[in-house]
């Protein structure tokens, strides 16, 4: 499936009419964090009652189970050891990172330091049917300063395990206050018209913005205007042409999930996928790091295409906000595949 995605991505690029200088966009610190590596009412089998996803004790157990599995996998560099506890964008990046490291360091992680997630607050949205999900807002021994880790856990049926699908890292001050009804958080329907952008449309809007840069719902910032500027700057190195192809990724456990905030807006988690193709001038080859090389298929002659998964957490203002209605608060990304040609 991954090779098919890469092949289709390559086919969608038309040959450049002239060589553009460009450069390689290095992985961010957020990608390193990752490599450690729907909402709305859904009616299934007549389940119409609004129910919390779990008790606080069950949510705490899910967080503990995830942490234990992650630590075992990270220590052994064995993706099988936490495959049942991760899914969605976090899962794909986590599993790719472990696969790469298992190849490069087959004896396991000599620098393993157990992940500790403490001071957990659980945000439990009531909804009907499946999937059900919740957010664990925690402190982490991998964080700096007052950063909080927000892990989104999803479960698609009563017999399934809780799995971590999204990871977002925010400062304590940036974590919004969530709206409540009868003591529970309020999920946002993916097709709601009460927000500046409905959750189901965020991926499409973000992909369009990264492609065209036209003014729209996204506020300026590190993951919008600055992210596009970084791509454009990287394209100015002589001897290397770099192209990007962004795609919406919103099916299954990659579906957007949102929580109503007290100001009438929402915090929404959504994912995208993008391909980064580097083509070197004649006589040169693009360079790749050890982890990318471990995931590589094909042979790099003068071109390499990296496949990235990117997850975003955004603050969306209420409907009626035409400009700057969406602020990208966090973006975490990681390479999940590569192909040489």
SS (H, E, C) 178-243: ECEECCEECECCCCCCCECCCHHHHHHHHHHHHHHCCCCCECCCCCCHHHHHHHHHHCCCCCEEEE
Tokens 């899910």 belong to 62
- pLDDT for residue 13: 64
SS (H, E, C) 6-56: HHHHHHHCCCCCCCCCCCCCCCCHHHHHHCCCCCCCCCCCCCCCCECCCCH
> Are the C-beta atoms of 122 and 135 separated by less than 8 Å?
yes
Per-10-residue mean pLDDT, the chain, length 341: 66 48 35 39 58 97 98 98 98 98 97 98 96 98 94 97 98 97 97 98 98 92 96 87 96 98 98 97 93 97 97 97 92 98 95
> Helix 199-212 vs helix 225-234: angle between axes, to the nearest 10 degrees?
40
Burial class of residue 13 in the structure, from the number of CB atoms within 10 Å of its CB (0-12 exposed, 13-18 middle, 19+ buried): middle
- pLDDT for residue 42: 42
* Predicted model pTM: 0.88
Tell me: cis bond preceding 131? Omega within 30 of 0 counts: yes
Per domain, the residue ranges of the chain are 2-340
| Residue 59 zone, left/alpha/beta (φ > 0; ψ -120 to 50; rest) | alpha
């Amino acid at each position: 499936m991954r090779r098919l995605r890469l092949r289709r991505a390559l086919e969608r690029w038309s040959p450049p009419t002239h060589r553009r200088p460009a450069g390689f966009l290095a992985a961010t610190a957020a990608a390193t964090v990752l490599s450690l590596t729907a909402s709305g009412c859904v009616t299934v089998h007549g389940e119409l009652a609004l129910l919390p996803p779990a008790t606080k004790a069950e949510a705490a157990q899910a967080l503990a189970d995830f942490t234990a599995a992650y630590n075992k996998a990270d220590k052994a560099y064995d993706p099988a050891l936490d495959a049942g506890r991760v899914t969605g964008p976090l899962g794909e990046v986590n599993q790719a990172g472990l696969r790469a490291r298992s190849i490069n360091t087959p004896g396991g992680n000599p620098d393993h330091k157990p992940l500790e997630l403490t001071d957990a607050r659980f945000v439990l949205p009531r909804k009907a049917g499946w999937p059900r999900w919740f957010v664990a807002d925690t402190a982490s021994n991998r964080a700096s300063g007052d950063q909080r880790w927000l892990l989104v856990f999803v479960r698609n049926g009563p017999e399934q395990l809780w799995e971590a699908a999204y990871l977002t890292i925010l400062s304590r001050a940036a974590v919004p206050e969530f709206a409540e009804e009868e003591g529970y958080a309020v999920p946002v329907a993916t097709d709601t018209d009460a927000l500046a952008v409905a959750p189901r449309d965020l991926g499409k809007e973000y992909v369009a913005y990264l492609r065209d840069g036209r003014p729209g719902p996204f506020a300026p910032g590190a993951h919008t205007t600055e992210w596009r500027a970084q791509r454009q700057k990287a394209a100015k190195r002589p001897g290397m042409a770099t192209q990007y192809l962004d795609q919406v990724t919103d099916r299954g456990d990659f579906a957007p999930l949102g929580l109503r905030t007290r100001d009438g807006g929402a915090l929404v988690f959504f994912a995208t996928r993008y391909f980064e193709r580097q083509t070197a001038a004649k006589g040169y080859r693009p360079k790749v790091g050890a982890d990318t090389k471990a995931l590589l298929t094909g042979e790099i002659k003068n071109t390499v295409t990296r496949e990235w998964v990117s997850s975003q957490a955004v603050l969306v203002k209420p409907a009626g906000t035409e400009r700057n209605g969406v602020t990208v608060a966090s973006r975490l990304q990681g390479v999940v595949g590569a192909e040489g040609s």
